[in-house]
Amino acid sequence: MSTQTTAQKHTFQAEVQQLLHLMIHSLYSNKEIFLRELISNASDACDKLRFLSLTDKALLEDEESLGIWIDFNEKKKTISIRDNGIGMNLEEVIENIGTIARSGTKKFLEQIQQDENSDTSLIGQFGVGFYSSFLVAKEVTVLTRKAGTPASAGVKWISDGSGEFTTEEIERTERGTEIILTLDKENKEFLNNYRLRGIISKYSDHISLPIMMLGEPEKDDEGKVVKGAVAEWEAINKGSALWARPKKDVSTEDHNAFYTSLTYDPEPPAVTLHNRVEGKMEYISLFYIPSKAPYDLWDREQRHGIKLYVRRIFISDDAKQLMPNYLRFVRGLVDSADLPLNVSREFLQQNKEIDKIRAASVKKVLGELKRIATKDTEKYASLWKEYGKVLKEGLVEDADNKDAVSKLVRFASTHTGDEAQTVSLDDYIARMPEKQKAIYYVTADSHQAASSSPHLEVFRKNEIEVLLLSDPVDEWVVSHLTTYEEKSLQSIAKGDLDIDELKGEESKEEAEQQKEAMQPLVDKFKSLLENKVKDVRLSNRLVDSPACLVADQFDLGGNMERILQAMGQDAPDTKPILELNPDHSIVKQMSVDSDTIEDWANVLFDQAALAEGASLKDPAGYVNRVNKLLAS
C-alpha cells in the first residue's frame, strides 16, 4: 500500500533563476535543441545503469534492454521523453535539478548577459541542458525512480520555470526517468511526428540506444486507419556507433552532426582524426579539435574531453589518462576492444594499455597539427590563436614529446613587428646571421612592453631578430626549452650579453676605453644604490636609453617575479643589475662630485624599472627627484 506524502515547495538556486529568466525571454536562438539535450541526458542515464549493472545485476530489475521512448499528445499539448536508465532519488532530484554545481555557470551567465544577441545554443557545455525544456514548455513534470529502490521511492518534480518547484514522493513501478513537457501555444510546431523525427535524425541519430517513437497504425487503401489497428513502437535512429563504421563510410556531415551531439558546439570542428588500430592492441580513436576554444579552456580542473568506451559500452565521461592536460581542448572518444569492462579509476592510472593508447593518441594529434602547420599555414595560424597558449604548456609538462611540441610553437618577433605569434623556431634559425650562436628572446607582461624594451636597442641596431614573449606561460617555457637544434635560447635581459662576434674589432677597442674612463662613475653608482642593486656596469645592449635593469644569469627575471607575486607566491629576494649606457648624453654629463649625483642614480634606476613594466616602491620620491633635477 502506497504512502501519501505532501508535496514540498522549493526555490531554485539563484543562478538557476537567472538562467531560466534569460532563456525564457528568448535569448536561446535555436529552440529545437531542447530535444537533443533531453535525449542526451536519457542516453547518459542508460549508459550509467549499464556500467553499474556489470557489478550489480540487480539494478536491471526485470528489464535488461535499455532504450529511450518519445511520445506526444496534440490534445494535451505534451511531449514525453522516457528512459529506463539509472533514475534518481529525491535527494538527487533536488541536487541535480534545483541547483547548478558546475563552476562554468556564472561564466555562462556573464557571457550571455554581456551580449544579448549571442547564440546560447552552447548551453549544453555548461551542464544545464535540462533547463532548455523551458524554451518550449510552460510546465515541466519529471517522474523518476532510481534503479534498485522500491516502487514507493518514486519522485515527482514539477515547475513552471518561474523560480520555484515542488517535489513529492510517489508510487512508480518503472525505473528510470520520464520528462513531460506541457508546451505553450508558441511552440505547438513540436507536436508533430515528422518534426520530432527530423530533430532526432539531425542531432541524435548516432545514439547507440534505440530511440523509439510510435509508428503509423495500419491503414486501408483509402488511407483510413484499419479498425482495431494499433500503432507500434519503432526505432527511428540508426543506433550504430559512428566511430565503429569504416572511415570511408562516414561523411563530413556525419562527423559534424556527431561532433555537435558530443560537444553541443554548433560549429563544425576544425580538425577530425578518425583512427582504427589493430594488432597487439585493438582500439578506435575519434578526436576533434573545435574551431573555437571552449569557454573553460583555462580551467585546468574542468576536463570533459575524451570519453572511454570498451566494446561500445560507455565507461567514463572524462578519461583524463587518455590525453595530457595541455591537449585538453581535444574532444572525442576512445573505444577499446582489450580493456576489461570493470574499469576503475585506479586501473586507468596504472594500466600499460592505457599508457600506450595515450602515447599513440598524443602523437597522432601532434602529428596532425604538424601536418597542418606545414601544409596549411593559414589554418594553423587560426588554431594557434585559439590554443597556442595551452599548447605551450606541453613544453613544460611533456618531456617525451618536447621536440614535437617545440616544432609547433609560434612566437611574436621583431622580424614581423606585430603582435601575431607566427614565427617558429625553425623560421628564426633560417634567418640567423652566420656568426650568431644563440636564439635571443625577451619576456614581458605584454607585447607592447616586450617590443619597447630598452634591451632590444642594440639588436635592432645590428638587425638581429629577437623573439617577443608576452604570455605568462612563456616564462616556464624558456626555463624548460633551453636549446633547440643545438642553438641555446638566451634572454637578452639576463646575464652578460655577448654579441662580440657580431661586432668589429674597432668596436671592441672603443668599449675597453669607455670602460676605463667611466669606472669612477660606475663605482659611485654602486655605493649609492648598494641596497637596490646587485651590481652596476656599463651596457653593450643600450643605444637610445640611458640605463636598464638586467637579472643575473641564474636569477629570476623581473617579469617572472611579478607573475609569481600575482599568483600569491613568494619570489626569491634577488636584486637586479643596473647597466648604464656610456654613449648617452645624460650619462656622459654626470660628475661623481656633483651635488645631484645621488638623485640621478635613483632616477635612472627607477626609470629602468618602469621601462621593464615594474611598479615603483616610492613613486612620490621619484616625482620629487625628477622635479628637483628639472628645476636645477
The set of residues, in sequence order, having a beta carbon less than 8 Å from that of 9 and lying 6+ positions away, is 164, 165, 166
pLDDT of residue 64: 85
Examine the pLDDT at 401 and tell me if it is beyond 60. Answer: yes
Query: Using one digit for the tens of pLDDT, what is the confidence trace for 336-369?
Result: 888 876 666 566 667 788 889 999 999 999 999 9
Query: Using one digit for the tens of pLDDT, what is the confidence trace for 233-284?
Result: 998 887 777 898 889 989 999 899 888 878 878 899 999 999 999 888 899 9
Mean pLDDT of 179-200: 92
Examine the pLDDT at 124 and tell me if it is beyond 50. Answer: no
Examine the pLDDT at 158 and tell me if it is beyond 70. Answer: yes
Top pLDDT among 136 and 13 is at: 136
Q: Tell me if residue 186 falls in helix, strand or coil.
A: helix
pLDDT of residue 271: 96
Top pLDDT among 32 and 412 is at: 412
- CA-CA distance, 416 to 239, in Å (whole number)? 52
The answer for 87, left when phi > 0, alpha when psi is -120 to 50, beta otherwise, is left
Identity at 263, one-letter amino acid code: T
Strand 487-491 relative to strand 8-11, pairing: unpaired
Examine the pLDDT at 443 and tell me if it is beyond 80. Answer: yes
pLDDT of residue 100: 45
- CA-CA distance, 272 to 316, in Å (whole number)? 21
The answer for 61, left when phi > 0, alpha when psi is -120 to 50, beta otherwise, is left
The set of residues, in sequence order, having a beta carbon less than 8 Å from that of 33 and lying 6+ positions away, is 121, 124, 132, 203
pTM, full prediction: 0.66
pLDDT of residue 183: 95
User: In this predicted structure, which of 10-24, 84-98, 468-482, 572-586 has the lowest mean pLDDT?
Assistant: 10-24
Q: Are 121 and 145 in contact (CB under 8 A)?
A: no
Confidence of residue 479 (pLDDT cuts 50, 70, 90): confident
Query: Using one digit for the tens of pLDDT, what is the confidence trace for 380-392?
Result: 999 999 999 999 9
- Mind giving me the DSSP string for 225-284? BPTT----EEE-S----GGGS-GGG--HHHHHHHHHHHH---SPPSEEEEEEE-SSS-EE
pLDDT of residue 122: 36
Query: Using one digit for the tens of pLDDT, what is the confidence trace for 212-224?
Result: 999 887 777 777 8
What the block records as the C-alpha cell of 369 is 597539427
pLDDT of residue 104: 43
Examine the pLDDT at 335 and tell me if it is beyond 80. Answer: yes
Query: Using one digit for the tens of pLDDT, what is the confidence trace for 591-616?
Result: 888 889 999 999 999 999 888 777 88
Top pLDDT among 299 and 548 is at: 548
If you average pLDDT over every residue of the chain, what do you get? 83
pLDDT of residue 16: 60
Examine the pLDDT at 2 and tell me if it is beyond 80. Answer: no
pLDDT of residue 108: 47
State residue 13 phi and psi, 5-degree precision: -55, 145
Mean pLDDT of 458-482: 90
Confidence of residue 562 (pLDDT cuts 50, 70, 90): low
- CA-CA distance, 383 to 292, in Å (whole number)? 8
Examine the pLDDT at 168 and tell me if it is beyond 70. Answer: yes
Examine the pLDDT at 193 and tell me if it is beyond 80. Answer: yes
Residue keyed to cell 542515464: 45
pLDDT of residue 343: 61
Cα pseudo-dihedral 204, 362, 560, 382, rounded to 10 = -60
Mean pLDDT of 385-412: 94
The CA angle 445-448-451, to the nearest 5 degrees, is 100
Query: Using one digit for the tens of pLDDT, what is the confidence trace for 488-522?
Result: 999 888 877 766 555 555 566 777 777 888 899 99
The percentage of residues in the chain with a pLDDT greater than 70, rounded to a whole number, is: 83
Examine the pLDDT at 548 and tell me if it is beyond 70. Answer: yes
Confidence of residue 110 (pLDDT cuts 50, 70, 90): low
Q: Are 153 and 146 in contact (CB under 8 A)?
A: yes
The set of residues, in sequence order, having a beta carbon less than 8 Å from that of 535 and lying 6+ positions away, is 526, 552, 577, 578
What the block records as the C-alpha cell of 80 is 514525453
Examine the pLDDT at 318 and tell me if it is beyond 90. Answer: no
pLDDT of residue 475: 85
- CA-CA distance, 160 to 285, in Å (whole number)? 42
Most confident of 69-78, 161-170, 293-302: 69-78
Residue keyed to cell 599548447: 391
Long-range contacts (CB closer than 8 Å, 24 or more residues apart) made by 519-528: 520/592, 521/580, 521/587, 521/590, 521/592, 522/580, 524/592, 524/597, 524/601, 525/578, 525/580, 525/601, 528/597, 528/598, 528/601, 528/602
